[in-house]
Amino acid sequence: MRRGIAAIFTVALGLLTSGHAHAACFDEAAWSGVLQRYTAPVPEVAAVGVDYAGLRGSKALAPVLSSLESCRPESLDADARMALWINAYNVLVVEMVVRERPEKSIRDLGSLLRPVWKRPAGRVGGRKVTLHQIEHEILRPLGDPRIHGAIVCASQSCPSLRRESFSGARLETQLDDQMRIFLADRRKGARLDGGRLRLSKIFDWFEEDFREAGGVVAFVRPYLDFDPGAKPRLVWFDYDWSLNVWPRGNSSPQSRQ
């Protein structure tokens, strides 16, 4: 009898500790530490700049990349899995720029026949993945268009990097906050000009993702302060693909902490 109880206890303990390990398979603390130390707001361009040069001289990304490779996404619940893939996209973009040193734009790392998005970007769960796979084959099919305010393609016109890791436990709040921050940015997110609503080109490229919400205007309306009855004409910001790098000549983000 005692052996039976002990066996049941051992199995239950194993399941609990296994579940705990699965919930923490990505090193969120390490990634948050990188973001806090190697990024900082750049007010003149209303963005968050990344100190890619500083990262090249450190090993700060090593534990983050290691945890991505060893993590098993299929073991996570839905929110934790989405948070993992958002983090994975952002981590692999930063690591790619650090490793391959494009001069002006991440797009310089690809070609017409083989764009950067379809090149192997790194390993998640023991397998090679591309940025295209993460965005279009994993995240977009989940049906939450707020991901477009969370994944960052190392460009000035992308949403700004969130300076903390996404987490399954706080994902709903974080995604909503990210979209609100992005749309509040009058230089690249959203701006009302009379009867025109100027939006990021992202809303044009991924228009189909917002159909379930009633379309692009219906989706952004709760985030913006304009007449509920208004039907503004949509126009788009030009897209700046230059790197979201911390400006040369400025003190590095980590020296400003």
Question: Per the structure, how many domains does the chain have?
Answer: 1
Q: Is residue 165 part of a domain?
A: yes
Q: Which three-class secondary structure string do you get for 48-90? A: EEECHHHHHCCCCCHHHHHHHHHCCHHHCCHHHHHHHHHHHHH
Residue 159 structural domain: 25-246
- Assign 4 to helix, strand or coil: helix
Rounded distance, CA 202 to CA 239, Å?
Answer: 9
**Cβ–Cβ under 8 Å, residues 169 and 79:** yes
What confidence tens digit (pLDDT) does each residue in 161-211 have? 999 999 999 999 999 999 999 999 999 999 988 889 999 999 999 999 999
**Cβ–Cβ under 8 Å, residues 91 and 31:** yes
Q: Give the pLDDT confidence score for residue 250 in this predicted structure.
A: 53
**Cβ–Cβ under 8 Å, residues 205 and 140:** no
End-to-end alpha-carbon separation of the chain, Å?
A: 59
Q: Is residue 167 part of a domain?
A: yes
Q: Give the pLDDT confidence score for residue 19 in this predicted structure.
A: 40
**Cβ–Cβ under 8 Å, residues 48 and 244:** yes
Q: Quick one: tokens of 102? A: 């494009």
Regions in the chain scoring below 70 on pLDDT: 1-24, 44-46, 248-257
Q: Give the pLDDT confidence score for residue 44 in this predicted structure.
A: 66
Q: Is residue 208 part of a domain?
A: yes
Q: Is residue 5 part of a domain?
A: no
Q: Give the pLDDT confidence score for residue 216 in this predicted structure.
A: 96
